[in-house]
């Protein structure tokens, strides 16, 4: 596809971008050039340059409008220097404030396909292989474990300064992959209209923070967000081996700096200690006798156990956990220590021990009423419905605390999808239950937004957003009503059918199995760093 | 669903929604197409994702897909592509043995990673090579174990860390074996000792190769240097002490404090201003006085020049006259105060004018009596020709029977053993018990070695019985000697009034103790000298009543009043 089609003007943003032809030798950090990616050309910013082993330069690039986890090292051959590149601006004081809002639906050219990409079997294959033209599994409310959106991560709270503001508005791809024939039947117009509408109402960027402001916010805010530096923009580890799995890290994590040289970092599955060599790791395994997260088990059902770990009492373990999760959480920061947090760790059990699947951290005392700070399903366990279970558990704790909760912002992309799916499902369940009761003569068939919140420990705001996202909140005959839409009900039915077909019920948190009282901390421990 | 709906953003205007209001749950079918507001897709809401990332292609694709689904579009669900995890090539079962047995109850656990991971030093590839070659040189009985090797290495590392904490910064020479040897006892048992020297050489080599830095590379913690902040590898900083949360109460408290402070400052400022004013006034006064003096001097001169113009009182002008004593002052006083000491305004006191306290009191008493007498006279004057009927309901009826008259009280003593020797006056008192036993009260004689009490005895004590209002039985006493109380207006009692308590020489006299020998003797004196059997009977009856109505007994004040002119 031509990289310079209509999108070019919109992408190449502001008024005064210095452009020009470049050679390999004149390229430097900050330059934006077109890079070949999966058979197309994407504009990408060069974040780092190094010599390969053969003495050729390689470039670490970030593709604009793609998540940082796709950043990668590319050889010079993939750079398209036949086109002009954008030179970095010398720290212009004026950030571009506005960008084009015209969302010209470039429907014809839209699929920036990810098919054939070496990261295998992404949603594309899953989605398309899973049939369904007439009954597409479309909603996030279906509750089907296999297609649950992986809510793998959620960031720390404060907005990091947007380092990259040149975001174009591009009509959404309906399918991130080559649409199959059936898929082309989809009502593209509809979707694009909706998306366009969504875009049009999108608020534009807020002013970026200065670095000083950001540090100050970190200092006073008690959060876990990342501080952005040049080094930390480049992924520092190549490969992680943990338990029975190996995976690629997604983001930078401040493991010892000489770990960068190692091919694979070994992580002990139980104590989460890290080793740059197989020899040391093997020796550690010979000695390490930890078999589960070092805390109290507070929940156990047939498939999972939850452990509660106090950051202050298990500093080493919690630091190890944070280092590990930073590999997969862009917005997490390890700037400050782990003391003010509790870590709720989900494990599966077998005769090897309790394997860490995911966790969420939670401030011992959250001024903003957050019930989750960071949340992560380890990559080797993603897309199995664990994320939703983690989220459900966090709300179960909130219910036990008799509080409404919401996750700390910003959310990551995966976090947002995971939470939206959970919220949609939860709210739908409440509404269906209410409707059913009223049909059976119990209850009025009416419910307020706050009641839904109280039943689910969701904040009123989250309930409201969910209702609106599901298009359930309507205005009829002069009053608001909640509509159980066909789409929602259909999705629910389908999820049920699938559960039946599979013979396994969806994983749920059973409140009776939670042996937990909200921990109380003394005033002195709160004042003195926990 | 209507396509147009999504397009017409203008109709998406939010009506205010009360989050507490109960909303009807309806099916889409129940909703009349006509009055249904067009479906709204509100993705413009704050998603919670960072703004810069909100427009990432994959996220937007996924969101759009789910939104499309919501309004009935048919789309497949979209995942955000992520790098996949793969099975590790390592042999999992070897590294993680099957040792876990799940307890029946929920796990409770508090050991730390340090507790569970054994020796902190883990042998690396270099170590392993050296370790193998070292053991090869030894026979089977003296092999070094991996654990021992690591313990020794750990000992070296820990000692170096303790003795050269800043090795990373100031790069001192590698610790010598002798320097380490002293601390080995803390780390190593005897079995490991034979290998230390050998392993030290290996450790030294590795240490030199690493620039004498710690071989166990850890995380980068804050060093306090300025570069910390920018270094992304520096992590897990200590949090500053949490700010104490502000509360309304605390705010109010501080506000109160500030108000008080301000008030005090304003007050002191006012005081300073007033002091200033006073000093100014003083200066003016001095100036006036000076002027006055000068004018007087002038006047004197004038008068000296004109001696024939002399007038009586002219001299008075030349000096400051004391203001005249206000006669009013004395006139306003109560009559009893007429005899106050004359004021010594002139600073001289005349001893001759000294007035005795007793005289004063006597005079006061006299005036009181006069006053009462005049009042009585007045009262009688008013009542001439009238009969006062109002008195009757307020006062008890006149007692006509003989019982109403006061009878003299006599005390009867039962035989008692002789007073103990220790008693102060025991030697002075003799009781003739034989006589008493015979019932001859008359002959009971009490002798005193000295008068028991130097105060005057007013009268024989006597009692009477009467009925008061509501039929209450009263015992009126008269002639009882009560111990003088404070404020008792007797001149003798007043005598103590100005005495200092601290005066050790003169112990104040209290008359309250009923078992005091003196008061017992006093009570004995109540015994009447002439008495008859009948009187004794009457007295006994009297005593019974007395004991019954003890709580009603009126004080001596009451009878004296009743004896008064009413
Ligand atoms: Zn371990």
pLDDT at B108 over 90: yes
**C-alpha–C-alpha distance, residues A158 and A352, integer Å:** 39
Residues from chain A contacting residue B99 (CB–CB below 8 Å):
291, 351-353
Least confident residue range of A450-459, B142-151, B555-564:
B555-564
CB contact under 8 A, B81 and A420: no
pTM above 0.80, yes or no: no
- On whether the CB atoms of residues A80 and A41 are closer than 8 A, the answer is yes
Pairing of strands A40-51, A32-37: antiparallel
The β-bridge partners of A458 are A405
Residues from chain B contacting residue A321 (CB–CB below 8 Å):
none
- On whether the CB atoms of residues A223 and A156 are closer than 8 A, the answer is yes
Residues from chain A contacting residue B69 (CB–CB below 8 Å):
136, 138-140, 487, 491
Residues from chain A contacting residue B83 (CB–CB below 8 Å):
69, 119, 247-248, 250, 379
Confidence of residue B387 (pLDDT cuts 50, 70, 90): confident
Confidence of residue A530 (pLDDT cuts 50, 70, 90): low
DSSP characters over A48-116: EEEE-TTS-EEEEEEETTS-GGG-EEEEGGGEETTS-EEPPPS--SS------------GGG-----TT
Does B500 lie at the interface with A, CB-CB under 8 angstroms?
no
Q: What percent of chain A has pLDDT over 70?
A: 69
Nearest to A529 among B7, B71, B238 (CB): B238
- Report the sign of the C-alpha dihedral through residues A52, A115, A420, B37, in that order: positive
Helix (H) or strand (E) holding A32: strand A32-37
In the sheet that holds B23-27, the strands lie side by side as A446-447, B23-27, A479-484, A473-476
**What beta strand segments (E) does A293-352 contain?**
296-300, 304-310, 341-350
For residue A107, the distance in angstroms to the closest alpha carbon of chain B comes to: 13
pLDDT at A323 over 70: yes
The count of other CB atoms within 10 Å of the CB of residue B213 is 14
Cα B532 to the chain's mean position, in Å?
A: 68
Does B550 lie at the interface with A, CB-CB under 8 angstroms?
no
Residues from chain A contacting residue B119 (CB–CB below 8 Å):
287
Taking the C-alpha atoms of B220, B221, B226 and B227 in order, what is their torsion angle to the nearest 10 degrees? 20
Least confident residue range of A346-350, A361-365, A519-523, B153-157:
A519-523
- On whether the CB atoms of residues B11 and A168 are closer than 8 A, the answer is no
Nearest to A176 among B21, B61, B238 (CB): B61
- On whether the CB atoms of residues A274 and B117 are closer than 8 A, the answer is no
CB contact under 8 A, A351 and B51: no
Please report the residues numbered 65 through 124 in chain B whose beta carbons come closer than 8 angstroms to any beta carbon of chain A.
65-90, 92, 95-102, 106-114, 116-119, 122-124
Mutate to test the interface with A, among B12, B48, B168, B215 (most CBs of A within 10 A): B48
User: How large is the average pLDDT for residues B461-489?
Assistant: 71
The count of other CB atoms within 10 Å of the CB of residue A43 is 25
Q: Reduce the DSSP state of residue A350 to 3 states and report it.
A: strand
> At A348, phi and psi to the nearest 5?
-105, 160
pLDDT at A447 over 90: yes
* HEC per residue, B374-405: HHHHHHHHHHCCCCCCCHHHHCCCCCCCHHHC
CB contact under 8 A, B85 and A174: no
DSSP A233: G
Q: Name the more confident of B242 and A12.
A: B242
Q: Reduce the DSSP state of residue A143 to 3 states and report it.
A: coil
Mean of all residue pLDDT scores within chain A? 76
DSSP A181: T
Least confident residue range of A155-164, A345-354, A399-408, B60-69:
A155-164
CB contact under 8 A, A292 and B100: yes
Residues of A forming the active site = 408
Phi-psi region of B51 (alpha: psi -120 to 50; beta: other; left: phi over 0): alpha
> For B240, which residue in chain A has the nearest alpha carbon?
A529
- Express the helix, strand and coil content of chain A in percent, nearest 5 each: 35, 20, 45
DSSP A142: S
DSSP characters over A239-290: -EEETTEEE---S---S-GGGGG-S-EEE-TTT--EESSHHHHHHHHHH---
For residue B255, the distance in angstroms to the closest alpha carbon of chain A comes to: 23
Residues from chain B contacting residue A334 (CB–CB below 8 Å):
235-236
For residue A293, the distance in angstroms to the closest alpha carbon of chain B comes to: 9
Question: Taking chain A, what is the end-to-end CA distance rounded to the nearest angstrom?
Answer: 56
CB contact under 8 A, A414 and B114: no
- On whether the CB atoms of residues A154 and A407 are closer than 8 A, the answer is yes
Q: Is B73 exposed, middle or buried (0-12, 13-18, 19+ CB in 10 A)?
A: buried
Please report the residues numbered 119 through 178 in chain B whose beta carbons come closer than 8 angstroms to any beta carbon of chain A.
119, 122-125, 127-128, 146-147, 150
Does B50 lie at the interface with A, CB-CB under 8 angstroms?
yes
**C-alpha–C-alpha distance, residues B433 and B418, integer Å:** 9
What is the per-residue pLDDT for B482? 60
Please report the residues numbered 51 through 70 in chain B whose beta carbons come closer than 8 angstroms to any beta carbon of chain A.
51-70
Helix (H) or strand (E) holding B23: strand B23-27
What is the per-residue pLDDT for B501? 52
Q: Reduce the DSSP state of residue B363 to 3 states and report it.
A: helix
For residue B226, the distance in angstroms to the closest alpha carbon of chain A comes to: 14
Does B42 lie at the interface with A, CB-CB under 8 angstroms?
yes
Q: Reduce the DSSP state of residue B562 to 3 states and report it.
A: helix
Mean of all residue pLDDT scores within chain B? 73
Give the residue among A435, A421, A357 at the shortest CA–CA distance from A392. A421
**C-alpha–C-alpha distance, residues A467 and A459, integer Å:** 12
> At B159, phi and psi to the nearest 5?
-65, -45
Least confident residue range of A125-129, A389-393, B122-126, B333-337:
A125-129
Do you know the residue count of chain B?
A: 566
Cβ-Cβ contacts under 8 Å between A and B: the total is: 519
CA of A249 to the centre of ligand 1 (A): 20
What is the per-residue pLDDT for B142? 87
CA of B211 to the centre of ligand 1 (A): 28
- On whether the CB atoms of residues A59 and A6 are closer than 8 A, the answer is no
Residues from chain A contacting residue B147 (CB–CB below 8 Å):
287
For residue A452, the distance in angstroms to the closest alpha carbon of chain B comes to: 10
Pairing of strands A57-63, A72-75: antiparallel
> For A415, which residue in chain B has the nearest alpha carbon?
B49
User: How large is the average pLDDT for residues A513-526?
Assistant: 84
> At A355, phi and psi to the nearest 5?
-90, 125
**What beta strand segments (E) does A352-506 contain?**
353-363, 370-372, 375-377, 406-407, 446-447, 473-476, 479-484
**What beta strand segments (E) does A318-387 contain?**
341-350, 353-363, 370-372, 375-377
Q: Name the more confident of B427 and A60.
A: A60
What is the per-residue pLDDT for A135? 36
For residue range A222-246, list pLDDT tens digits in order.
434 333 457 888 999 999 999 999 9
pLDDT at B543 over 60: no
CB contact under 8 A, A136 and B57: no
DSSP characters over B185-226: HHH--TTTGGGHHHHHHHHHHHHHHTTS--SS--PBPP-S-G
Q: Reduce the DSSP state of residue B464 to 3 states and report it.
A: strand
What is the per-residue pLDDT for A155? 34
What is the per-residue pLDDT for B125? 93
- On whether the CB atoms of residues B77 and A174 are closer than 8 A, the answer is no
ipTM of the complex as predicted? 0.72
> At A30, phi and psi to the nearest 5?
105, -15
- The Cα-based distances of B94 to A70, A277, A348, A381 in angstroms read 34, 17, 19, 22
pLDDT at A7 over 70: no
CA of A239 to the centre of ligand 1 (A): 19
For residue range A264-301, list pLDDT tens digits in order.
999 999 999 999 999 999 999 999 999 999 999 999 99
CB contact under 8 A, A70 and B46: no
Least confident residue range of A302-316, A497-511, B95-109, B236-250:
B236-250
**C-alpha–C-alpha distance, residues B124 and B412, integer Å:** 115
> At B517, phi and psi to the nearest 5?
-55, -40
Omega cis (within 30) before B146: no
For residue B18, the distance in angstroms to the closest alpha carbon of chain A comes to: 8
Mutate to test the interface with B, among A150, A225, A475, A491 (most CBs of B within 10 A): A475
Nearest to A241 among B32, B47, B90 (CB): B90
User: How large is the average pLDDT for residues A122-135?
Assistant: 35
For residue A315, the distance in angstroms to the closest alpha carbon of chain B comes to: 8
Nearest to A280 among B62, B111, B123 (CB): B123
- On whether the CB atoms of residues B19 and A460 are closer than 8 A, the answer is yes
Nearest to B51 among A195, A205, A417 (CB): A205
């Amino acid at each position: 596809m031509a990289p310079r089609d209509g999108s070019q003007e919109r992408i190449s943003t502001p008024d005064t971008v210095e452009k020009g032809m470049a050679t390999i030798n004149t390229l430097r950090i900050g330059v934006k050039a077109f890079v070949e990616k999966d058979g197309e050309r994407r504009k990408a910013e060069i974040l780092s340059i190094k010599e390969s082993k053969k003495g050729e330069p390689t470039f670490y690039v970030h593709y604009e409008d793609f998540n940082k986890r796709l950043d990668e090292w590319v050889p010079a051959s993939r750079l398209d220097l036949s086109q002009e590149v954008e030179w970095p601006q010398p720290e212009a004081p004026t950030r571009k404030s506005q960008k084009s809002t015209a969302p010209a639906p470039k429907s014809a050219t839209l699929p920036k396909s990810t098919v054939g990409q070496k990261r295998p079997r992404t949603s594309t294959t899953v989605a398309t292989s899973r049939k369904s033209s007439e009954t597409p599994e479309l909603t996030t409310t279906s509750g089907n474990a296999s297609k649950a959106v992986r809510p793998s991560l959620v960031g720390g709270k404060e907005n990091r300064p947007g380092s990259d503001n040149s975001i174009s508005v591009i009509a959404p791809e309906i399918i991130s992959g080559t649409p199959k024939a059936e898929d082309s039947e989809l009502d593209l117009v509809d979707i694009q209209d909706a998306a366009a509408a969504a875009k049009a109402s999108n608020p534009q960027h807020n002013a970026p923070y200065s670095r000083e402001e950001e540090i100050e916010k970190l200092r006073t805010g008690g959060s876990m967000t990342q501080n952005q530096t040049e080094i930390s923009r480049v992924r520092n580890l190549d490969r992680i081996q943990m338990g029975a799995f190996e995976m690629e890290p997604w983001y930078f994590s401040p493991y010892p700096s000489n770990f960068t040289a190692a091919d694979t970092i070994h992580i002990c599955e139980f104590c989460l200690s890290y080793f740059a060599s197989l020899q040391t790791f093997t020796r550690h395994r010979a000695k390490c006798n930890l078999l589960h997260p070092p805390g109290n088990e507070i929940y156990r059902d047939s498939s999972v156990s939850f452990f509660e770990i106090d950051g202050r009492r298990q500093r080493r373990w919690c630091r190890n956990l944070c280092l590990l999760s930073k590999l997969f959480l862009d917005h997490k920061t390890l700037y400050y220590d782990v003391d003010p947090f509790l870590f709720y760790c989900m494990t599966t059990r077998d005769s090897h021990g309790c394997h860490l699947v995911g966790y969420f951290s939670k401030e011992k005392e959250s001024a903003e009423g957050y019930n989750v700070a960071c949340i992560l399903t380890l990559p080797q366990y993603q897309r199995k419905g664990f994320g939703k279970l983690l989220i459900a558990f966090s709300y179960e704790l909130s219910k036990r605390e008799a509080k409404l909760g919401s996750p700390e912002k910003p959310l990551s992309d995966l976090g947002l999808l995971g939470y939206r799916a959970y919220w949609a499902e939860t709210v739908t369940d409440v509404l269906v239950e209410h409707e059913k009761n009223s049909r059976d003569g119990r209850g009025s068939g009416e419910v307020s937004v706050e009641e839904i919140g109280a039943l689910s420990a969701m904040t009123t705001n989250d309930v409201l957003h969910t209702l609106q996202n599901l298009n359930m909140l309507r205005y009829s005959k002069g009053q608001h009503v909640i509509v159980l839409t066909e789409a929602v009900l259909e999705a629910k039915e389908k999820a049920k059918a699938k559960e039946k077909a599979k013979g396994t019920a969806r994983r749920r948190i059973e409140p009776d199995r939670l042996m937990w009282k909200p921990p109380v901390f003394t005033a002195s421990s709160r004042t003195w760093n926990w | 669903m209507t396509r147009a709906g999504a397009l017409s953003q203008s109709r998406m205007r939010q009506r205010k929604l009360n989050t507490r209001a109960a909303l009807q749950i309806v099916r889409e079918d129940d909703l009349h197409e006509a009055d249904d507001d067009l479906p709204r897709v509100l993705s413009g809401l704050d998603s919670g994702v960072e703004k810069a990332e909100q427009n990432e292609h994959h996220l937007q694709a996924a969101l759009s897909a789910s939104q499309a689904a919501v309004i009935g579009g048919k789309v497949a669900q979209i995942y955000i592509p992520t790098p996949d995890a793969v099975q590790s090539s390592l042999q999992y079962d070897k590294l993680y043995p099957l040792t876990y047995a799940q307890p029946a109850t929920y796990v409770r656990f508090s050991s730390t990673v340090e507790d569970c991971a054994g020796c902190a030093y883990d042998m690396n590839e270099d170590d392993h090579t050296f370790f193998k070659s070292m053991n090869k040189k030894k026979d089977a009985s003296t092999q070094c174990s991996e654990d021992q090797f690591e313990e020794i290495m750990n000992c070296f590392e820990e000692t170096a860390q303790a003795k050269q904490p800043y090795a990373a910064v100031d790069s001192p020479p590698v610790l010598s074996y002798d320097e380490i040897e002293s601390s080995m006892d803390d780390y190593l048992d005897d079995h490991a000792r034979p290998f230390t020297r050998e392993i030290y050489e290996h450790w030294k080599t590795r240490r030199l190769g690493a620039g004498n830095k710690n071989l166990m590379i850890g995380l980068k913690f804050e060093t306090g240097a300025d570069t910390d902040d920018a270094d992304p590898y520096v992590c897990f900083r200590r949090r500053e002490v949490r700010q104490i949360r502000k509360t309304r109460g605390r705010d109010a408290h501080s506000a109160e404090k500030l108000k008080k402070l301000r008030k005090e400052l304003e007050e002191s400022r006012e005081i300073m201003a007033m002091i200033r004013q006073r000093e100014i006034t003083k200066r003016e006064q001095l100036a006036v006085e000076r002027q006055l003096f000068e004018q007087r001097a002038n006047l004197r001169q004038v008068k000296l020049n004109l001696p024939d113009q002399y007038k009586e009182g002219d001299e008075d002008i030349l000096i400051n006259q004391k203001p005249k004593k206000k006669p009013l002052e004395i006139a306003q006083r109560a009559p009893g105060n007429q005899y106050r000491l004359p004021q010594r305004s002139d600073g001289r006191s005349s001893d001759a004018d000294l007035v005795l306290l007793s005289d004063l009191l006597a005079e006061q008493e006299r005036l009181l009596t006069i006053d009462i007498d005049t009042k009585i006279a007045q009262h009688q004057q008013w009542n001439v020709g009238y009969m006062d009927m109002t008195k009757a309901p307020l006062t008890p009826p006149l007692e006509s029977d003989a019982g109403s008259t006061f009878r003299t009280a006599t005390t009867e003593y039962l035989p008692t053993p002789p007073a103990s020797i220790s008693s102060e006056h025991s030697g002075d008192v003799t009781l003739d018990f034989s006589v008493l036993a015979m019932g001859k009260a008359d002959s009971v004689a009490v002798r005193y070695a000295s008068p028991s009490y130097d105060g005057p005895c007013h009268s024989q004590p006597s009692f009477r019985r009467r009925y008061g209002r509501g039929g209450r039985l009263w015992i009126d006493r008269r002639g009882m000697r009560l111990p003088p109380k404070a404020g008792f207006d007797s001149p003798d009692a007043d005598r103590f009034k100005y005495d200092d308590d601290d005066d050790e020489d003169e112990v104040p006299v209290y008359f309250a103790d009923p078992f005091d020998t003196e008061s017992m003797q006093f009570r004995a004196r109540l015994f009447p000298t002439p008495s008859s059997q009948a009187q004794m009977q009457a007295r006994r009856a009297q005593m019974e009543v007395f004991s019954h109505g003890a709580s009603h007994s009126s004080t001596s004040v009451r009878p004296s009043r009743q004896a008064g002119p009413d």
